Amino acid sequence: MSTASSIEKILEDVKDDQEISDATLVSRSGTHIAGDVPEKAHRETYVAMSAILLGSAETATSELEDQLAYVLVELDNSRILIEDSGPSAILVLRLEEGADLEDILETTKQPIKDIQRSL
């Protein structure tokens, strides 16, 4: 299986969780690597801004001598979870309203390891 199809499979498996509506892998520079973006979102803007959000949070917290776990954006009807997926990528998930964040974070641990191995 190629790297691209392997990553797409990982993201599809992540979306098997009914609380995750979209799963996107983004480079730290803000380029789309794999996966889908929300239906009404402009792909280039969505992935670039997701990378900027995580990068900004890392920069803002860098002097606190603590490690950033994730960025969570609360919207009226959903949430966007952005997680570090290694030195070259981030995982961006759109969560359904009412999704259990702790369950999602547990669910994504292995897929993030798989992504890191695939890149």
| Token output for 50 | 């997701």
Residue 44 confidence (pLDDT): 97
| Token output for 26 | 């983004």
Residue 25 confidence (pLDDT): 98
Specify the CATH number for the domain of residue 64.
3.30.450.30
The number of folded domains in the chain is: 1
Mean pLDDT of all residues in 34-62: 96
Residue 1 confidence (pLDDT): 58
74, with CB counted inside 10 A (0-12, 13-18, 19+), is exposed
Of 114, 118, 95, the closest CA to residue 105 belongs to: 95
Q: Which domain holds residue 111?
A: 3-118
**Distance between CA 29 and CA 34 in Å, rounded?**
14
18-41 per-position pLDDT tens digit: 899 999 999 999 999 999 999 999
- Residue corresponding to tokens 């402009």: 42
